[in-house]
Structure 1
Amino acid sequence: MCAETPTTTPTETPDYKDTLNLPRTDFPMRAGLPKREPDWLARWADIGVYDRLREKQGRKPFTLHDGPPYANGHLHIGHALNKTIKDMIVRSHQMMGFDSRYVPGWDCHGLPIEWKIEEQYRKKGKNKDNVPVIEFRQECRRFAEGWIDIQREEFKRLGVTGNWPDPYLTMDFHAERVIAEEFMTFLMTGTLYQGSKPVMWSPIEQTALAEAEVEYHDKESFTIWVKFKVIPPHEGTGTAEDPSHKLQGAQVVIWTTTPWTIPSNKAVVYGEPISYGLYKVTGRPEECWANIGDRYILADDRAADVFSRARLEPSMWERVDDVSQSELAEVKLLHPLAGAEGGNGEWDAPRDFRAADFVTDTEGTGFVHCAPSHGMEEYELYRDLGMLEQVVTYNVLDDGSFRADLPFFGGKYILSRKGGEGDANKAVIDKLAEVGGLLARGKIKHSYPHSWRSKAPVIYRNTPQWFASVDHPVGDGQDTYGTTIRERALRSIDELVAWTPKTGRNRLYSMIESRPDWVLSRQRAWGVPLTCFTRKGKLPTDPDFLLRDPAVNARILEAFEAEGADAWYAEGAKERFLGNDYNADDWDQVFDILDVWFDSGSTHAFVLRDRPDGTEDGIADVYMEGTDQHRGWFHSSLLQACGTKGRAPYRNVVTHGFTLDEKGMKMSKSIGNTIVPDEVIKQYGADILRLWVAQTDYTADQRIGPEILKGTADSYRRLRNTMRFMLGSLSDLKDSDRVDDPAQMPPLERWVLSRLADLDEQVRAGYAAFDFQSVLSAVFNFATVDLSAFYFDVRKDVLYCDGDTQRRRAARTVLDHLYHRLTTWLAPILVFTMEEVWLERYPGDDSSVHLVDFPETPEAWRNAALDEHVAKVRRVRRVVTSALEIQRRDKVIGSSLEAAPVVHVEDAETRELLHMIDMDDLCITSGISLSSDPAPAEAFRLPEIEGIGVVFEKAEGVKCQRCWKILPDVGQHAHPGVCGRCDTALS
């Protein structure tokens, strides 16, 4: 018996695993970002990515001008959000073909830094006033330098690209020179003037503050109802008061939440549209400051509330008469402290009493007490009446105390030295009670301005300050957009600037439209001084009060360029700058410093205009900051530039909201809900933080917290797996493996190319509009829904099991197109991860994804008809996979490859489409039969997809030991245990 050739059964077939084209990549599933990101940062610095991008020729410049943070502390989550958005703008525009420049900067002057040095002095028992001013300023400079170095490294750790070795600093000598020069423009064009008006004043820091330097917090304030006695008109030309006058003996009642302003009261005003009445007290409880028979004038809509505050029941008072506007107009009032023993006549003169349009009867009493030194509305009323000299007082000193010689209250403080309640309010209330001037008292909790640095309340105080007039004709010949700063600013907002979101336009426009003149001066030491001189003995209204001499200005600027602003404080500075043309004894040197918002508002001049990496016209393509900067940097930059260059210094203004915790609450150290960027980076890596930024609608307030970050990390893993699959499938791709002509590709590949063409347009439009959320959403949905859950799932079989087939070549060509686009599209967002993905395929000492542009995507790839066809096919696939899932759930099959269902399709066009593609590959089955017959009753259907029914059938044949499909021809080929397709691949 001769030996027979052994027959190999399926159970004895070889292990074909090594013959499959399984993905091969060293790209790890676990990112390890916290440990690996610093290596990429070091690599970018070594190969000089930012500088090499600047070497690219023929590109249109695009400049985002950095709003400078203060150099005085570690970064918070708002900094991380802000700088990451800026970085995405810069990187995306670079990859869209621009020369996208970013010069980081720091705000180095002003109260935030000065306050820190003062805190250090207080701890050491030192007094700032006893330290030479230049020595103090140099300590401020050193403090800022230290924090600049710290913050620079923290910003770089976020993955932010830019000219880090050469940032701009407002304390650089050239910057200080330019800030002074920009101020001198205001001086020379006549927009600068010295005036005395109420400004927000910090008694703790002893300086004026701008609106942008205050924040609003709830504050509990004293509230009082105060009586002003009516003085009736005199009879004829005599001196005796008319005892028969209806209002004889009546009292007007005012209400205020600032009792400390009562000593400065000069008037009371009423509203012309308001109905007033005369009210009489007919009864009283034991503890009450009203007496039976007292008569009070009140707004009719406020009377009941006022009497309830005075503890008078409705039965204890009555309305006895009307009080007309003409009757109010003919009387005067007496201050409640008039005639008080020891008052030295301070309050004896009658108070002015007139109508004003800012009085309402929605709260209070219908009357408003006026201390024009401490209220802007009152100030403007009496300014317009030409009566300021009669009503302005100077009772409150720099430290918030009353002048020493003010009767009863001299030396009392409005605030304590630590910013709490002082003794002034209580002293005023007690004195009013003593003289019978009080009707009621209480407390109220309300939103109140506080210094954002000391956190202490501020007051309105009349002090001499320097102002830039927003309505004075500038007269500099740059009148294209108006002759005044306000006109230029308003026209710039509407004609020259695009706003993201568009609501930013309305917010800034309304602020500029109604804003008062700009308070430029601060009573501090660290900053750029107001480089001007005033003539002794002259009033601010005199035409020669200010020295306007180009030669003097030039000497100052030359010194600042060489020595910095400290030159202003050097011994003999006045004589040096005035030179031989003026007698120094005739002039006073101004030592106030400029509002730091003028510093940062001037940055366009010494950054955009003067630097080699600035812009030709000194105008930025983008300013991007938080929404609070509508009253801050956006605002001051607009005013400053409109005063010196005649228009806005920006073309786009992009605004982000505030970052809240997961519950939508403001972050607070005391609550313990703060998210610190450094801690997020240590746990997850900077790319997760950047992904969170891209996922949010930054134009509104956004939320962050542990659960949100977990969700972000999960999204990141899904994207990472998508990139890993492509890298593995492309590991050995050669140019000869590609299919260059899309017409030679299967419909599924051509559909992916069509989707890429659509996405390319969406991505570029999103980045151009600074809409990262739309970019990420489009790319993420494409990667997870169209690719991972559909295209990759369908094409795994071809990629793993086919030999050198046309369809496998086409699939890998499409994967290569996908790789280049997804990697570059996501590079502005996931700067570290996409660099890792890039280097997996393009290693090299000088290789980086951040050196390339978004690839151009042929418009010819777009195929709307194919998009519609695939949408129909996917609907059929959804019904099939849902039917098979039920069989899998019921354990009829373990895998979809065990099925060969019959699919009943009513629509002939859809059937034709299905015949053009491999439906078994599409549904990951071993076979599919298409039928035009009506689906039988037992067929599986989805109610939302009509005309499709699926009848489950098991696949017939034997399981291929290589591709695992169940097919009739398995075992009939040269290689044992495989199907014909796999046999060909093995051959």
Structure 2
Amino acid sequence: MSEPTSTAPDYRDTVFLPETEFPMRAGLPAREPDWLARWEALDIYGRLRRKGKEAGRAPFILHDGPPYANGNLHIGHALNKVLKDFITRSQQMMGRDARYVPGWDCHGLPIEWKIEEQYRERQQRKDDVDIVEFRQECRAFAQGWVETQREQFKRLGVIGNWEDPYLTMNYHAEAVIAAEFMKLLMNGSLYQGSKPVMWSPVEQTALAEAEVEYHDHTSHTIWVRFKPVGASGDSHIAKGAGLTVDPGLSDQIEAEVLQDMKDELLQASIVIWTTTPWTIPQNRAVAFGPDIDYGLYEVTDVEDKSTAVLGEYLVLADALAEGVLKSAKVTGFNRLREVTADELRGLILAHPYRGIENGQGEWDFDVPLLPGDHVTEDAGTGFVHTAPSHGDDDYQLGVKYKLPMTYNVEPDGSYRKDLPVFGGEAILTSTGAEGSANVSNIKQLAYAGALLAKGKIKHSYPHSWRSKAPVIYRNTPQWFAAIDTDLSDGMNEYGSTIRSRALTSIDKLVRWTPQTGRNRIHSMVENRPDWVLSRQRAWGVPLTVFTKKGARPTDADFLLKDARLNDRITAAFEKDGADAWYRDGFKAQVLEGIANPDDHDQVTDVLDVWFDSGSTHAFVLRDRADGTPDGIADLYLEGTDQHRGWFQSSLLQACATKGRAPYKGVLTHGFTLDEKGMKMSKSLGNVILPAEVIKDYGADILRLWVAQADYTADQRIGKEILKGTADSYRRLRNTLRYMLGSLAGFTEAERVEPAEMPELERWVLHRLAEIDAQVRHGYDVYDFQGVFQTLFQFATLDLSSFYFDIRKDALYCDGPDSLRRRAARTVLDILFHRLTTWLAPILPFTMEDVWLSRFPGDDSSIHLQDFVATPHDWLNADLARKWDQVRRARRVVTAALELKRTDKTIGASLEAAPVVHVEDAALLSALKSSDFADICITSDLSLTADPAPAEAFRLSEVPGIGVVFEPAEGEKCERCWRILPDVGTHQHPGTCARCDEVLS
């Protein structure tokens, strides 16, 4: 093989090398803000809305779950908003009118808390400030964060109606929230009840389940003796202070008690176990499990420090007895006999504080032993201490048996000051720390001889989502939405109660992505209690209701129901916002001619903020011009925690006021963790902020991280992961850059119809038709990871590593009028329009850069385009099967040549002319019809059916093919670098026949 002579002409200027100004380095952090400004100047969002209206496009509405207007964005916000943007952009480009109105949740405790902190710093008392003035400060604080977060969201490239977002504190929003609440008043689902709710002593307000999160917490554990004092019907039953027993209960229990109850059972102690010693003063019963096996145990030996007494009798669940006795440091015991459920029914116990010193008779009452289906053998003793004011199961048992409620615990988490022995002691302090109440109760139980054992346990415990402090169950008067009451609203297509409507919606009306979301929310709704609507705070929408003075909540006239009154309240809020409720004279103003103001009290509690956000379907979807008349969104999208939050509050609220779910689809994503799978925290120093990622890489890299992640599970992010994301981006960008360069100067005159194209180009069109279906389906089912992986593999494997690699020679060296070159450029143009639009929802900045590099113009933008229709007849299954075989055969050849390149036999594949032995006749025929030398990028190649010699190169995964290396014969063409025998025999020195013809 001879080298080109130094005197040969320089043909570099005759080769059609790629030409583009599209930069290799993206420079996204610096360049992205310019595109944002350009899109705003072009009014891209507004133009798309007008386009949709003019074309009569079907709307697609993704309703934005409102983030809280308090603090800078974290990576979870970015994940959420970018996913939403993927959806709205892709739906728009698939032919829908994809409207997106961003919104903010503006009321609530965290903002109120911030303003109170400012007061404390100024040594100012909140109670000394006019409530309207205080609310206005809260409003200003929220507005400031709305502005900050809006710019941070826009920087992510999220397209939407940023000029007119929705805010729950807007006057119209507050008016609608109040109007939606008053629908509960009118349809019979609203009631005031006194029952235990989760209460935050730190924030001094009730909390809904959605406002509670669970963290590990160390609690005291105690095992307490309850001494029997007799059976039902004797002198002890129902004679205690304040105990009210169903008149029929005594007779019912007495009839069920075995008449031959053993004397030793009355001498035994019923043992309970609890992790909340502070609730013992509120005990009103003990529950047992009717189906649990119990035994009577005698203590025969104890350790020195045991509080158990030799010879004492204890009644315990058999499955738990050994563990209980071990905790009590009992080293010897006998199980005397079985204790039946019939024996336990009707047994009357003494409160452990009966007769306590300085008790003033507070606990000198009897405690019934009652059957309870909630009692299990999972932990404890088989007996459950029951304080109806401090637990839901306890409360339900109390309702069933008419047990008295207690009001011993104040809003700040301390006992009422006049409670004997314990008055004023704190359960939890104002900082959330443990007070003295638990230890005091443990000591008093020990003094009374009731403490059998004590210890500590680390377990999952409810904490306030906002303050992160522990919460307690506390009985307080609150306002509830009854979810099992038949509603008088006539909207019974999907059920007559809130719960039935919600469950029907979950199963029949909503598409859940992923499907596991359905199971999660279904079980939550199926088992949830009534909705606690009221909060004892100032910053929110008030419960716009009046109650009759002196009336009880169960009285028919307790709530003032009048449609005229509701209309007046709504109109006042439309004009002045919810602040109007707190202005002097408002009650008299709205009640004029309807009711005597002196006869009614005005409720001052505010609504749970989840009712605010749950009502957004009404004032955003229903009421806005860019909403939908039926007030139903195509999709709600939030994190998986919102099954107990916004998804559920929206579902319940809409089922109460419009009879069904306000959404057709719900998508949930996981949480964001660091690279090691750890939760991000400032203390660990592993927090990744969106602003930092954008500063270092640009928003498109952050968006690409979202696209590459499986959002249905928890995602990981960190420096190494982002480096990998940036590498994927670089490879994709290089593919697009090559395409741009190879399309330089392309005109319609070059276009070749598919039927005239070589097979290789028709195979690319086939792949495009396949991918078009995959991409559209992927976007339609929100599989962004699948969409990107499909496009990335197509771009890097099918195109860069195969098609582009093969066609470089034709693009660079064929003549401009060559069919092969024109066909390749036509295919590149087809690829360009599809790849740029398919990728635009994921990488809006980069695809705009690519688009403008080819189609510059003041009005030009990729984001005004739709996905290009791809003809179905491009699909060619027979051709695809043939080229799948060709590519498999090519792998054997390229692998064989790679070995020769590694051992320095050749420097490039064009120096080879291998002999390829093919056993299968059909494959051999296919390879002979495919310009296989071009496919393998060799100067020559021989195909033969002869058996491959022993030294032939083979690949085990591609049987039946052997490759024998042979060097290419001839000289190197100085224009195309192929080594051919005819080089040097043509008019132009040092060229092959093809290049000589082009030069001529």
Report the TM-score, using the length of structure 1 for normalisation: 0.97
**Alignment-derived partner of residue 260 in structure 1:** 278
User: 2:227 aligned to 229, 234, 242, which one?
Assistant: 229
Q: Structure 1 residue 237: deviation in Å?
A: 8.4
Q: Which residue matches 1:14? A: 9
Opposite residue 562 of structure 1, the aligned amino acid is K
Q: 1:141 maps to what in 2?
A: 139
Shift of 1:583: 1.1
Matched with 2:21 is 26
Q: 1:831 to 1:707 in 2, by over 3 A?
A: same
Distance verdict in 2 for CA 1:244–1:168, change over 3 Å? closer
| Aligned-residue offset at 1:674 | 1.3
1:546-601 CA-partner distances (Å, limit 9, x unpaired) = 00011111111110000000000000111011113321110000111111111000
> Aligned partners of 1:694, 1:38: CA distance in 2, in Å?
21
Q: Which stretch shows the higher mean deviation, 326-335 or 202-211?
A: 326-335
Q: Specify the code of the residue in structure 1 equivalent to 2:911.
A: E
How far is 1:243 from its partner?
12
How far apart, CA to CA, are the structure 1 residues paired with 2:236 and 2:803?
103
SS in 2 for 1:45: helix
Deviation at 1:505, TM superposition (A): 0.9
Q: 2:324 pairs with 291, 301, 306, which one?
A: 306
- Secondary structure of 1:619's match? coil
Deviations 1:279-326 (A, max 9, x none): 22233333222222222111122222112111222x3x3223332222
Counterpart secondary structure, 2:966: coil
Residue correspondence of structure 1 range 789-938 to structure 2 within 5 A? 789-804=801-816, 805-938=818-951
Partner of 1:383: 399
Partner of 1:3: none
Q: 1:628 is matched with which residue? A: 641
Could you tell which deviates more after superposition, 788-797 or 293-302? 293-302
Where in structure 2 are there 5+ consecutive unaligned residues?
A: 240-258
* 1:844-899 per-position Cα deviation (integer Å, ceiling 9, x unaligned): 11111001001111111111111111101111111111111111112111111111
Q: For residues 788 and 505 of structure 1, what CA distance do their matches in structure 2 show?
A: 42
Establish whether residue 426 from structure 1 lines up as the match of residue 439 from structure 2: yes
From 365, 380, 383, the equivalent of 1:349 is 365
3-state SS of the aligned residue for 2:330? coil
Tell me, in whole angstroms, the C-alpha distance in 2 between the residues paired with 1:176 and 1:612. 18
The structural deviation recorded for 1:669 is: 1.4
Distance across 1 between alignment mates of 2:92 and 2:938: 46
- Alignment partners' CA distance in 1, 2:326 and 2:423: 34
- Residues 789-833 of structure 1: per-residue CA shift (max 9 Å, x gap): 100110111111111211000000000111111111000000100
Superposition pairs for residues 759-798 of structure 1, below 5 Å? 759-798=771-810
Matches of 1:833 and 1:972 in 2, distance apart? 48
2:746 aligned partner: 733
Query: Aligned partner of 2:643: which letter?
Result: H
- The corresponding residue for 2:119 is 121
Q: CA deviation at 1:635?
A: 0.3
1:883-935 per-residue CA deviation (whole Å, 9 max, x = no partner) reads 11111112111111111111111222222222222211110110011112222
Aligned residues: 974
Q: Which residue of 1 aligns with 2:952?
A: 939
Moved more, 69-78 or 610-619: 610-619
1:439 matched to 2:434: no
Task: Look up the match of 1:660.
Answer: 673
Give the gaps of 5 or more residues in structure 1: 1-7
C-alpha separation in 2, matches of 1:320 and 1:863: 84
In the alignment, which residue of structure 1 is the partner of 2:167? Answer: 169
**Residue 236 of structure 1: how far off its partner (Å):** 7.9
2:963 equivalent to 1:965? no
Cα distance in 1 between the residues matched to 2:980 and 2:236:
125
How many Å separate the matches in 2 of 1:51 and 1:37? 20
Q: Give the counterpart letter for 1:976 in structure 2.
A: P
The answer to whether 1:754 aligns with 2:749 is no
- In 2, distance between residues paired with 1:33 and 1:883? 41
Q: Which moved more, 1:236-245 or 1:840-849?
A: 236-245
Q: CA deviation at 1:613?
A: 0.5
Equivalent residues in 2 for 1:320-719, closer than 5 Å: 320-385=336-401, 387=402, 390-719=403-732
Q: Are the equivalent residues in 2 in contact too, given 1:233–1:242 (CA < 8 A)? A: no
For residues 231 and 924 of structure 2, the distance between their equivalents in structure 1, rounded to whole angstroms, comes to: 101
- Please tell me the residue identity of whatever aligns with 1:372: P
Structure 2 residue matching 1:103: 3-state secondary structure: coil
Q: Does 1:52 align with 2:68?
A: no
Q: Which amino acid aligns with 1:36?
A: R
Distance 1:236 1:379, change over 3 A: closer
Aligned equivalents of 1:348, 1:422: Cα separation in 2? 26
CA positional deviation for 1:120? 2.0
Change (3 A) 1:818 1:243: closer
Q: CA 1:565–1:787 in structure 2 vs 1: closer, same or farther (change >3 Å)?
A: same
**Cα distance change of structure 1 residues 723 and 236 upon mapping to structure 2, 3 Å threshold:** closer
- Distance in 1, matches of 2:519 and 2:233, equals 56
The alignment partner of 1:547 has SS state of: coil
* 8 Å contact from structure 2 (residues 913, 966) kept in 1: yes
1:269 aligned residue: 287
Could you tell me which residue of structure 2 aligns to residue 73 of structure 1?
A: 71
Q: Is the 8 A contact 1:289 1:439 kept in 2?
A: yes
Output the CA distance in 2 between the equivalents of 1:259 and 1:55.
Answer: 65
1:103 to 93, 96, 101: 101
Q: Residues 4 and 974 of structure 2 are in contact (CA less than 8 Å); yes or no, is this contact kept in structure 1?
A: no
Aligned equivalents of 2:464, 2:22: Cα separation in 1: 52
For the residues of structure 2 that align with 1:256 and 1:236, how far apart are their CA atoms? 29
**SS in structure 2 of the partner of residue 363 of structure 1:** coil
Q: Tell me, yes or no, if the aligned pair for 2:91 and 2:98 is still in contact at 8 Å.
A: yes
CA-to-partner distance for each residue in 1:426-453, whole Å, 9 max, x for gaps?
Answer: 1111111122111111111000010011
Q: CA–CA distance in 1 between the matches of 2:235 and 2:145? A: 73
The one of 30, 34, 38 aligned to 1:39 = 34
Corresponding letter in the other structure for 1:747: E
Counterpart in 2 of 1:279? Answer: 297
For 2:285, give the aligned amino acid: A
Which deviates the most, 341-350 or 426-435?
A: 426-435
Residue 249 of structure 1 corresponds to which residue in structure 2? 267
2:299 alignment partner AA: V
Measure the CA separation in 2 of the matches of 1:139 and 1:236.
63
Does the CA contact (< 8 Å) of 1:798 and 1:808 recur in 2? yes
1:242 positional shift: 12
Aligned-partner SS, 2:183:
helix
Please state if 1:150 is matched with 2:148.
Answer: yes
> Which digits, 9 at most, give the CA deviation of each residue in 1:724-759, with x for residues without a partner?
0000001111111111x1111100000000000000
Deviation at 1:975, TM superposition (A): 1.0
Structure 2 CA distance for partners of 1:235 and 1:658, relative to 1, 3 Å:
closer
With normalisation by structure 2, the TM-score equals 0.96
Q: Which letter does structure 2 place at the counterpart of 1:322?
A: E
SS in 2 for 1:125: coil
Q: Counterpart in 2 of 1:5? A: none
Q: Hey, what does 2:252 align to over in structure 1?
A: none
| 1:366 alignment partner AA | G
Distance change >3 Å, CA 244–CA 62, structure 1 → 2: closer
Q: Does the Cα contact within 8 Å between 1:473 and 1:484 map onto a contact in 2?
A: yes
Amino acid at match of 1:778: T
Question: Residues 18 and 500 from structure 1, CA distance in 2 versus in 1: closer, same or farther, beyond 3 angstroms?
Answer: same
Matches of 2:335 and 2:504 in 1, distance apart?
54
Secondary structure of 2:634's partner? strand
